[in-house]
Amino acid sequence: MYFNTSDGIRLHYTDDGQGIPVLCLAGLTRNGTDFDYIAPHLNDVRLIRLDYRGRGKSDWADPGSYTLPQEGQDAVALLDHLGIDEAAIIGTSRGGIIAMGLAATVKDRLLGVCLNDIGPEVAAPGLDAIKSYLGRKPTFSSMEEATTQRAKLMSGFEDVPAERWRAEAEKHYIEDEGGLNINYDPKLREGVLERAENLNPDLWPFFDALSGLPLALIRGANSDIITEQTAAEMVRRRPDMLFANVPGRGHVPFLDEPESVLTIRTWLGEMQ
């Protein structure tokens, strides 16, 4: 399904099930398929997944609009399009940053927030990794090679079966005449990197804006994006926050790990 933003960009989304509305916001270069693994565990909610502008099946746009505020506005526009006053948000990486921004600006639209491997501080190693691949065509030429290389390159992941890495490769790349390509606008690189605040903003005030909302944090125990120290400070500030430190996972957990599922289900229970 699609809807048009106020500046004329056609955005793709999916809307499945009935129950509490749960808006899923993906990582920087990702799309709604980020949530394929958790979806079977959420068959009693209304699961809404957005492809940001320039990603997945959505239209590409002016790179200058690939910003956190604009993507937050697009998320609210989708809720408006669907006639939804309030929704819970599961935010993976950049999606969690957007969720915190919405808590600071339109908190009345939020029922609760679950952050997937993101916090108010983004660690330097993770930032460096993002800069190394953002907007660049992959060097491998087939899905088979992508599957093998992804298993080698994804730092911090343990005991992941080959079929999962194959599924990941198919989510992140498309086949074209030259082999494989990324499934998002390459100009996302310039749209993000030319604005330092777009990649690593000061988010503690935005995290504190989540006060009063049911909150959960899922962290990959081997994450290079959110450190143990940052997670500990988040727990200190929000001792009521549900927290899962998922073993054998880096950035980002797939969300179908037992620890992730339990945390998300418990978090949803706080809103029902």
* Percent of the chain predicted with pLDDT > 90: 85
The residue count of the chain comes to: 272
Under the banding of pLDDT at 50, 70 and 90, the label for residue 25 is very high
Range in 93-97, 159-163, 177-181, 256-260 with the lowest mean pLDDT: 177-181
**pLDDT recorded at residue 200:** 62
Q: What is the pLDDT of residues 139-179, one digit of tens each?
A: 888 999 999 988 888 889 999 999 999 999 999 999 887 78
**Which amino acid is it at 77?**
A
When pLDDT is averaged across residues 24-43 and rounded to a whole number, the result is 97
When pLDDT is averaged across residues 39-65 and rounded to a whole number, the result is 97
**pLDDT recorded at residue 199:** 57
* Percent of the chain predicted with pLDDT > 70: 97
Distances (CA, A) of 73 to 53, 77, 154, 257: 11, 6, 31, 31
What does the mean pLDDT of the chain come to? Answer: 94
When pLDDT is averaged across residues 16-38 and rounded to a whole number, the result is 97
- Determine if the pTM surpasses 0.85: yes
When pLDDT is averaged across residues 224-228 and rounded to a whole number, the result is 96
Strand, helix or coil for residue 163: helix
Q: Does 188 have pLDDT greater than 80?
A: yes
**pLDDT recorded at residue 170:** 93
Round to the nearest angstrom and report the end-to-end CA distance of the chain: 27
80 or 175, greater pLDDT: 80
**pLDDT recorded at residue 98:** 97
Q: Does 116 have pLDDT greater than 80?
A: yes
198 or 174, greater pLDDT: 174
Helix (H), strand (E), coil (C) string for 207-237: HHCCCCCCEEEEEECCCCCCCHHHHHHHHHH
When pLDDT is averaged across residues 8-26 and rounded to a whole number, the result is 98
Q: Does 197 have pLDDT greater than 60?
A: no
Q: In 182-217, which positions are buried (b, 16+ CB within 10 angstroms) versus exposed (e)?
A: bbbbebbbebbeeeeebbebebbebbebbeebbbbb
Tally helices (H) and strands (E) across the chain: 10, 10
When pLDDT is averaged across residues 108-128 and rounded to a whole number, the result is 94
Distances (CA, A) of 199 to 25, 75, 126, 128, 227: 16, 19, 11, 11, 16
Q: Does 228 have pLDDT greater than 70?
A: yes
**pLDDT recorded at residue 35:** 98
> Angle 152-157-161 (CA atoms, 0-180°, nearest 5)?
75
